[in-house]
Chain A
Amino acid sequence: MSEAAVHQGVTAGPYEPSLFGTYSKKIGMWLFLLSDSLTFGALLYAYSYGRISTPNWPTPFHSESIRNATLMTAFLLTSSLTMVLAVRASVFGDAKMQRWWLMATMLCGTGFIILHGREWSNLIAEGLTLPMFPSVPGHHAAAEFADVSKTVPQFPATFFGLTGMHMLHVTIGVIYLGIIGLRKKFIPVLLGLWLIAWLATPSYSPFHYGAHVLLVGAIVASVILWLKPKVYDSSDVEVAGLYWHFVDLVWMFIFPLVYIMSTKIV
């Protein structure tokens, strides 16, 4: 009866048939992603605007940075592959493989965050910083960064704003997949990660305070799982996958615009 309801456009329940031929959760996620792409669009346009209107735009990324960013890109692309494999396992009802692929995706996402965090820390230690970041004790700004934060403040502002927003999205994505894949078991893992990230980073690092995102994530995840405990099915995995692929998609524009176009060729 349900099949007939979908194909003939007749409602089986109290609601109208779907205008887009798919279920509401997926349409909701697509609408969110469309609005979120405008957020990233605005940030990318702001970066490009700054770059066009500033003649002495810095090109600070050496081979090491490009290698790091390429590895980050490979992590994200691989995570997208493992994510579609998780969706595939879920539609075949293979719960074990679904969980393994989701964990592989989370691992790749975590690898991306760690590499990105390392790169941020190196750039901050070399003197590319924002006024809100505390200064790194015992470090002197490298010659090429000594004046950048003062003479071209648009560069660190747009760089940290854009990549920070993306890193936040990846972090939320890892938490989201953790909830879908591990449910309540993920909460203690998340709290453990929060403690490690908070206590292992020095107090002058932006990640010392940024780690609290994980605590907020753990609280939100607990509330969600407490209010609506359920076994997440293939549709939930697919919707989470849409979010994850979107995060990957955005990086496909950040990587060439921010890194490749700012390569310092020696």
Chain B
Amino acid sequence: MMDATQIALEQQVAEQHRHHSKAQFFWVWGALLVLTGIEVYLGYQNMEPVRMLTILMGLSLIKAGLIIAYFMHMKFEVSRMKWLTMSSLLVCLALMCIFFPDAFRILRLGAR
């Protein structure tokens, strides 16, 4: 049998969802499609790879932010939930960057 606190929390979250308008979701969806269109357009511009990568990753981060905030409801969670989940994820992903200097080292060695 489910704990009464859990049931109350589910009802509380459902009540929050009832206050979100449909229009908000359609705006986010439109913005995501437009950003995707910009990415595809950039793909056909003969840009320098590092510059293009920087712009594409910037756009992807904006898209990810929109999905997490609105579609995944994170914008409406309590700040403790926001900070703990997002900061731990970002720190873990940032730590993986430690491998990239090694990739450049291999490049400089001239390995084929």
Contact = CB atoms under 8 A, between A and B. Distances in A.
A and B from one assembly?
A: yes
Interface of A: 1-3, 5-6, 11-15, 17-24, 26-27, 30, 34, 37-38, 41-42, 45, 48-50, 52-53, 55-56, 66, 70, 73-74, 77-78, 80-81, 83-85, 87-88, 91-92, 233-235, 238, 241-242, 245-246, 248-249, 252-253, 255-257, 259-261, 263, 265
Given A80-B71, A85-B25, A249-B64, A21 B81 contact: yes
A45 B92 CA distance: 12
Contact of A20 (B33, B40, B81): B81
Nearest to A63: B44
A49 B56 contact: no
Interface of B: 3-15, 17-18, 20, 22, 25-26, 29, 32-33, 36, 39-40, 42-44, 46, 49, 52-53, 56-57, 59-60, 63-64, 67-68, 70-73, 77-78, 80-81, 84-85, 88-89, 92-93, 96-97, 99-100, 102-104, 106-107, 111-112
Contacts, number: 183
Question: Which of A80, A92, A259 counts the most chain B CB atoms within 10 A?
Answer: A80
B60 A48 contact: no
Contacts of B85: 30, 34
B4 A77 contact: no
Contacts of A55: 107, 112
Contacts of A66: 40, 43
A81 B5 contact: no
Contacts of A11: 5
Question: Which of B6, B20, B33, B85 counts the most chain A CB atoms within 10 A?
Answer: B6
A6 B8 contact: yes
Main secondary structure on B side of the interface with A: helix
A2 B8 contact: yes
Given A45-B99, A260-B42, A260-B56, 19 more contacts: A1-B4, A12-B4, A15-B5, A20-B81, A21-B78, A37-B89, A41-B92, A49-B102, A52-B103, A53-B106, A55-B107, A70-B40, A78-B29, A85-B25, A91-B15, A233-B10, A238-B13, A249-B68, A252-B64
A71 to B, nearest CB: 11
Contacts of A249: 64, 67-68, 72
A34 B11 CA distance: 25
A260 B77 CA distance: 34
Contacts of A85: 22, 25
A255 B43 CA distance: 11
A177 B72 CA distance: 16
